[in-house]
Structure 1
Amino acid sequence: MSADHILETRKLTKDFKGFVAVNQVDLQVRRGTIHALIGPNGAGKTTCFNLLTKFITPSSGQILFNGQDITGEAPARIARRGIIRSFQISAVFPHLTVLENVRVALQRKLGTSFHFWRSESSLDSLNERAMELLREVDLESYAPSVTVELSYGRKRALEIATTLAMDPELMLLDEPTQGMGLEDVDRIRQLIKKVAANRTVLMVEHNMSVVSSIADTITVLQRGATLAEGPYAEVSKNPAVIEAYMGSANTELQGAH
C-alpha cells in the first residue's frame, strides 16, 4: 500500500445468500483528496460504505487504513481510528439546539459517558470548539436555534459539523445532497470542498454536477463491481460508463459542468 493512499480495499466482496452486492472491489483513496463512488441504483455503493465502516462484515477481501489491515475490527474501533461516516438521512437530534448537537458529538469524542447527573454548565468548556465547528460550516448564527427549525440543507451542514467534531481523518459522506433544492446543493458542495482542505473525503453521490465539480477521483460501480475509475473528464467519456447510465435517472453524466 502506497503511503499516499489512506484507504485501500483488496478484492472486497459481500454476498447475501448467493446475491453478490459487492464483487472484488479494489479501491484506492489518496490522502487529502475527494473521492466519489458513483453508479446506477443497485450498484453496491451503500453496501461498500457499510463494509468500510463494518456495519456489515465482508464475505472476503481486505480493508486497509493507513497501511494497517482493519478488516476484522469492530465499528467503534474503526471510528476511533478516524473513519467517520455521515448517513443518507440526517442524523441530528431535532429538539436540541444547533450548539447542543455539536456539543454532544464533542462529548462522544472525549470518550466520556453522557454525564446526566452533572449540570449542563459542566459542558460549557466545549462551547468554544463547538462554535469553531459551526463557523466552519457557516452555521454560527444558528447556534441557539432548535434544530427542527432548520432547513433540510442546513440540517445536513449541521450533520457535517457533528461529523467534524469526531475529528475524522477520513470522512465518509453518504449522499450528502440527496433531496435538496439547488441552493442547498450548492451550499453543501462548497462546504464539502472547504472541509476537505485538510482531510480526506470519500462520498457516495448521485448528483453529477456535484461530483464533476469537486471530486478528484471517481470510481464507478455497476452490479457491485468496478466499471471505471479516474478523473471526471476521463470517466464521463468512457463508453461503458455512458451505457451503464443510459435509461437511469442520471443521464446528465455528459452535461454535468
Structure 2
Amino acid sequence: MADDIILEARGLSKEFKGFIAVKEVNLQVRRGTIHALIGPNGAGKSTVFNLLTKFLTPTRGQILYKGRDITAMKPADVALLGMVRSFQISAVFPHLSVLENVRVALQRPRGTSFHFWKPEASLHDLHDRAEELIEAVNLTPWAGHTAAELPYGRKRALEIATTLALDPEVMLLDEPLAGMGHEDIEGTAALIKRVSADRTILMVEHNLSVVAHLSDTITVLRRGEILAEGAYDVVSRNPQVMEAYMGTGEVGHA
C-alpha cells in the first residue's frame, strides 16, 4: 500500500560532467523497516544515499517523503520534517560531556542550540530526556566524560543519541560500522536494531554479515543501477549479485 512507503525515489539520476553515476533508480523504503543499500565499489550507493539525504541534487528524477516532493529541499529543512542523516548532521562537540552534547542536540528544535550564554537552570527541563537518550545508547557510565575521551564505538553511540534527540521518523545511516573492531560492531549493530523499533532506517553498509542480520530489505546497486532487491536470503543467492561481488564466487552468508 502507498501509505506503507515513507521514502521513495522515482527515476533518480545523477551525472557528473557527462559521467552517469546513478541511472533511473526507482526505490521504495517501507515504513518501520531497516533498508540497506549495498553494492561493490563504484556501484553508486554513496551517490544514491547522498541524493536521498539531499547532500547532492539529482540531474533528473524525484524524491518523495511521505508523499511530499522534497527533491529541491535542503538537508536542514528535510530534517525538520523528520528525516535525519546521522553522522553528518549530528554534530558532536569533543570538549563537551556526553550529557552536554545530548542537551545541545535537544535544544535544536527550539532554535537555541548555540545559546551557551543562557543560564544552566534553563537547561534543567532537558536533563531528564537527555539522560533517557544516554541510557538508550548504553552511555550512562560515560555521561560525565567528554566526547573526546570516548572510544570509537561509543562516539558512534553518542552520535546516534544526538540524532535521536531530533526525534527522527527516518534515520539515515552512512556506513555506521566503518572502522570498528568486532566488539564495537556487535554493540553498534545491536543499538541500531534497538532504535529501529519505532522508526524507519535506511543505511549504506559494507559489512554483509551485519546487513544480513539487521535488514528487512536490501537494494543491491551496480554501475549506478538497481541490480536486485529483496530479503538477504534472496539477493545473496542471485547469480548477478554473486557475479557483481565476487566475479564467479558468491556473497557470504552469515
What is residue 131 of structure 2 aligned with on the other side?
A: 131
Contact kept in structure 2, 1:98 and 1:142, CA below 8 Å: yes
Contact kept in structure 1, 2:64 and 2:71, CA below 8 Å: yes
Contact kept in structure 1, 2:105 and 2:113, CA below 8 Å: no
**Aligned residue runs from structure 1 range 208-223, under 5 A:** 208-223=208-223
TM-score by length of 1: 0.94
Contact kept in structure 1, 2:62 and 2:71, CA below 8 Å: yes
In the alignment, the residues of structure 1 paired with residue 113 and residue 138 of structure 2 have an alpha-carbon distance, to the nearest angstrom, of: 29
Contact kept in structure 2, 1:93 and 1:101, CA below 8 Å: yes
What is residue 72 of structure 1 aligned with on the other side?
A: 72
Q: Percent identity?
A: 66
Contact kept in structure 2, 1:133 and 1:161, CA below 8 Å: yes
Structure 1: gaps (5+ residues): none
What is residue 190 of structure 2 aligned with on the other side?
A: 190
What is residue 9 of structure 2 aligned with on the other side?
A: 9
What is residue 60 of structure 1 aligned with on the other side?
A: 60
What is residue 240 of structure 2 aligned with on the other side?
A: 240
Contact kept in structure 2, 1:90 and 1:156, CA below 8 Å: no
Q: Relative to structure 1, is the Cα distance of residues 103 and 159 closer, same or farther in structure 2, using a 3 angstrom cutoff? A: same
Aligned Cα root-mean-square deviation (Å):
1.9
Q: Secondary structure at the match of 1:253?
A: coil
Contact kept in structure 2, 1:88 and 1:176, CA below 8 Å: no
In the alignment, the residues of structure 1 paired with residue 230 and residue 250 of structure 2 have an alpha-carbon distance, to the nearest angstrom, of: 18
User: Cα offset for 1:67?
Assistant: 0.9
User: Cα offset for 1:254?
Assistant: 2.3
Aligned residue identity for 2:152: Y
In the alignment, the residues of structure 2 paired with residue 183 and residue 60 of structure 1 have an alpha-carbon distance, to the nearest angstrom, of: 42
In the alignment, the residues of structure 1 paired with residue 89 and residue 177 of structure 2 have an alpha-carbon distance, to the nearest angstrom, of: 10
What is residue 228 of structure 1 aligned with on the other side?
A: 228
Q: How many residue pairs were aligned?
A: 254
Q: Relative to structure 1, is the Cα distance of residues 113 and 179 closer, same or farther in structure 2, using a 3 angstrom cutoff? A: closer
Q: Secondary structure at the match of 1:32?
A: coil
Q: Which runs of 4+ in 1 moved over 6 A?
A: none
In the alignment, the residues of structure 1 paired with residue 160 and residue 99 of structure 2 have an alpha-carbon distance, to the nearest angstrom, of: 13
Which stretch shifts more, 164-173 or 100-109? 100-109
Q: Secondary structure at the match of 2:25?
A: strand
Q: Secondary structure at the match of 1:10?
A: strand
What is residue 254 of structure 1 aligned with on the other side?
A: 252
User: Cα offset for 1:89?
Assistant: 11
In the alignment, the residues of structure 2 paired with residue 89 and residue 43 of structure 1 have an alpha-carbon distance, to the nearest angstrom, of: 24
Structure 1 residues 1-32: Cα deviation after superposition (integer angstroms, max 9, x where no partner): 71001011001111111111111111100000
User: Cα offset for 1:253?
Assistant: 2.5
What is residue 18 of structure 1 aligned with on the other side?
A: 18
Structure 2: gaps (5+ residues): none
